[in-house]
Structure formats: C-alpha cells, structure tokens
C-alpha cells in the first residue's frame, strides 16, 4: 500500500481518486447492448450471456424445481445464519415505517402525505467470483416490507447455466417473485425495457461492476429509476494508537477481496500504527483464498498520515467513503462530525462485515464519492411519497384571493380563472 505523509490540501483531489473508468470509457459498449436488447428481447439477452458469461442458456427463468433442488444443497447451519440475518434486517427496516402526516394548513384546507410502494422493482445480484446472496436480504426484505407487488431478480449464471444455490434459497425465502439467469449489462437492459421473459421494472437496485454501474445510469435515460450509482466497493478506516492493528488490517482486506477495482484507505494520526497495519496486511493477505484479487485492490489503496483529528475528518469528508470505520479514542468527534459516508462502524469490535451480513443495517451503499449526495438503501427507497389535499368551501375562500393574485402576477390567467369561478359560485 502506498504511504502518504501530511498531504497538502491541493493534492487531496488527486490523492483520493478512485481506480475506476469514466462513464465515457464504457458507455458506448453499454448503449450498444441496450439497443439490441430493446429490439431483440430474449434473443439478444441469450446472445450476450453467451458472449460475456460463456454459457448458452436454455431457459432464462429459474424454475420452481431448481429452487427446491437448491434448498437441498444448502447446509442447515447456513440456512440458520441467513434466517438470523433476515430477522435483524427486518427489525431495522420495519422500524423505518412512518405514519401518514396530516396538517390543516389553514381553516378548510387539509393536506396530507402518504407513502405507497413502488409496484415493480428489479434487484441485481452479483454472481461471478462471489455470489452475493446477502444482497438479496438487503433488497428483497425492505421491498416486501414496503409492499412491492413484483420483485424481479437478475443474477449471472455459472458456466453450467445455473445460479448459486444460496442465491436461489435466499431469493425464495425473501419473497422474490421472478428469478432470472442473467447478469451484467444485459440484465440491466432487460429490466429497463422488458423482454419476453424478464418484466420491465420501475426502479433497479443492487451493486455491480463498472459496466453494471454505467448500465444503471443509462437506464435512467429510459424512464427507469435506480437506487444510486453504486460501483466497486470501498472502505476508509480512521484509527489511532488505541486501534487493534490486526483488526484494522482484516477490515481493509475484507473490502479488498471484493474485486480488483475495490479501494481501501487508512487515515491515521499514528505513524507507528500505519507501519504495523501495513505488516499485518501483508501477513493476512498470504492466507486469503482470494489473494490475487485482494492484492490488485491493495495496489489501488493508501495509508495516509495526518497530524490531527480535524485534518483527518476533512480528508474523510472529501473522500465520502461507502464504508467508514472509526477506531480512535475520540470516536465521538468523528461520529458527530462526519458529513459524507454511506455507513459508519464504530469501535474495535464493529467490523464492516457485520453490516454486510447480519447487524441489520443495509449494505447497499453509495460509492465513488456519491455518499456526498446519496443515502444507502432503506425502506423509503422502495416507496414513493404522495401528497393529498382537500379544500372546503371555507378553505377556498380563505386562500383563493392569494392564489388569484399570484397566478395573475405570473401571467397564468387560466390558473386564476380556476379559482375565480369557484369563488364566484359561493357568493
């Protein structure tokens, strides 16, 4: 990992760059796939699955028999772990429900807000080198709590044309209504336009590689909403001499093993800790099955020394990490003042992997600096807020003249007339 000591503020922008391609670099490829799937449907989906995933699909949809067989391949211990995580995630997200908000803004004018579920949602679940069945819990659980009627899941098949059994088991457990053996750009395009097998959805959720991220962004040009432009995973740890260096190294590696384009950063006020963490990373890396992937990600990563907590906080807010771990004596300073982070993990015994799996918070979070303006997925992500109003005769008399004056000042005579006619009818 590259060490940087006391970086000057005018170098922060370059220092904190992510190891990702720009949208322009890959948008042409994504748009080409979109255009073909829009016109050719399932045929193009299968063609691109053969090209990108090296598998010829017979059926795009997963059958009930496949789901039942997958359940037999999952150990009871893993099933129990998944159910524990599901229970915690349900508790945390159910607590986010809000009641109808009702206000009488003036006598005779009633306004209220109610939430309605998004009827059709699409969930993208990465498969590839790591089948992220945990992401199903993070997306399907709140989708069901919100009341979404149609929950479509897309995940890339393996070389045998199958989806990982844990993905199928978890999807069935969480009430997914349709499971599709499709990944990558073609999955996002299919959910954007709809094909013979894959329904069109109103909003797409889920993380993915850079191609999936750009595909989701492109989907918004065709009337489909997305959760956020979430791309390669990232983690920033702030730590001082009170931190456990082995714990810090394990957290850095837990994100580095996600993908070669992941990035992890340690910001510290202790040079000694930085040196110790670096050694721990090298030692722990040797024992990882995904050593090659983690090593590539570590090459994108940095160890940054700063003089004090205030400067550390400024760098962290400038970066806007997806995951932010606080392991310092003065943890309240960071917890109270952090402005830009997807999810925050506090203390030596709060690993980021707890949030990935079973603590209850959602792990679908903004990356690439988008934590500055996006929230992570939550119950409201699957809902829309609708406003209602009802005005009585007395109410229109109370606010009618104000409406007439404002409409006339804007030169919108029909708006004024809509009120004037009603007021005159009450004379």
State the catalytic residues. Answer: 322-323
Residue 141 and residue 175 in contact, taking contact as beta carbons nearer than 8 Å: no
Beta bridge partners of 204: 122, 226
Beta bridge partners of 389: 111
- Binding region for Zn(2+): 255, 258, 356, 415
**Nearest by Cα to 61 from 148, 139, 178, 187:** 178
- Binding region: 124, 186, 209, 233, 255, 258, 323, 356, 410, 415
Structure tokens at 79: 């099933």
Distance (Å, whole) CA 303 – CA 323: 16
Residue 294 and residue 284 in contact, taking contact as beta carbons nearer than 8 Å: no
Distance (Å, whole) CA 427 – CA 422: 9
Distance (Å, whole) CA 314 – CA 224: 35
Half-sphere exposure of 47 (CA within 13 A, CB side): 9
- Binding region for substrate: 233, 255, 258, 323, 356, 410, 415
Residue 156 and residue 184 in contact, taking contact as beta carbons nearer than 8 Å: yes
Structure tokens at 290: 């995904």
Structure tokens at 111: 């306004």
Residue 130 and residue 262 in contact, taking contact as beta carbons nearer than 8 Å: no
Distance (Å, whole) CA 380 – CA 187: 24
Please provide the DSSP assignment of 101-165 as one string: EEEEEETTEEEEEEEEE-SEEEEE---TTS--HHHHHHHHHHHHHHT-SEEEEE----TTS---H
Q: β-pairing, 234-239 with 323-327?
A: parallel
Three-state secondary structure string covering 110-127 = EEEEEEEECCEEEEECCC
Residue 1 and residue 278 in contact, taking contact as beta carbons nearer than 8 Å: yes
Q: For residue 177, report the phi and psi dihedrals to the nearest 5 degrees.
A: -90, -25
């Amino acid at each position: 990992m590259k060490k940087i000591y006391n970086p000057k503020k005018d170098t922060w922008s370059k220092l904190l760059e992510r190891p990702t391609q720009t949208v322009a670099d890959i948008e042409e490829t994504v748009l080409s796939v979109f255009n073909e799937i829009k016109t050719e449907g399932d045929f193009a989906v299968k063609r691109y699955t053969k090209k990108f995933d090296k598998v010829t699909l017979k059926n795009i949809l997963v059958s009930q028999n496949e789901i039942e067989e997958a359940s037999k391949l999952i150990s009871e211990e893993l099933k129990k772990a998944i159910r524990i995580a599901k229970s915690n995630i349900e508790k945390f997200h159910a607590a986010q429900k809000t009641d109808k908000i009702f206000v009488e803004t003036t006598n005779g004018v009633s306004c209220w807000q109610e939430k309605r579920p998004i009827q059709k949602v699409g969930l993208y679940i990465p498969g590839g080198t790591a089948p992220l069945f945990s992401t199903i819990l993070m997306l399907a659980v709140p989708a069901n709590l919100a009341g979404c009627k149609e929950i479509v899941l897309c995940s890339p098949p393996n070389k045998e044309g199958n989806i990982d059994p844990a993905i199928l088991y978890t999807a069935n457990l969480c009430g997914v209504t349709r499971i599709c053996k499709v990944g990558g750009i073609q999955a996002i395009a299919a959910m954007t336009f709809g094909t013979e097998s894959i329904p069109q959805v109103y909003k797409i959720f889920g993380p993915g590689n850079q191609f999936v991220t750009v595909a989701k962004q492109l989907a918004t040009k065709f009337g489909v909403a997305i959760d956020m432009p979430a791309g390669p995973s990232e983690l920033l740890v702030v730590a001082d001499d009170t931190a456990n260096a082995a714990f810090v190294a394990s957290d850095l590696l837990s994100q580095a093993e996600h993908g070669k384009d992941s990035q992890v950063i340690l910001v510290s006020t202790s040079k000694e800790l930085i040196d110790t963490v670096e050694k721990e990373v090298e030692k722990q890396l040797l024992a990882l099955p995904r050593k090659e992937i983690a090593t590539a990600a570590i090459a994108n990563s940095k160890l940054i020394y700063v003089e004090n907590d205030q400067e550390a906080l400024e760098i962290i807010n400038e970066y806007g990490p997806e995951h932010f771990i606080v392991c310092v004596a003065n943890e309240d300073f960071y917890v109270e003042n952090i402005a830009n982070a997807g999810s925050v993990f506090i203390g030596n015994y709060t690993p980021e992997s707890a949030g990935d799996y079973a603590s209850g918070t959602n792990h679908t979070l903004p990356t690439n600096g988008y934590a500055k303006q996006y929230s992570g997925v939550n119950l409201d992500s699957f809902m829309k807020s609708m406003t209602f109003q009802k005005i009585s005769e007395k109410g229109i008399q109370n606010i009618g003249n104000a409406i007439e004056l404002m409409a006339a000042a804007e030169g919108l005579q029909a708006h004024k007339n809509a009120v004037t006619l009603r007021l005159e009818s009450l004379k």
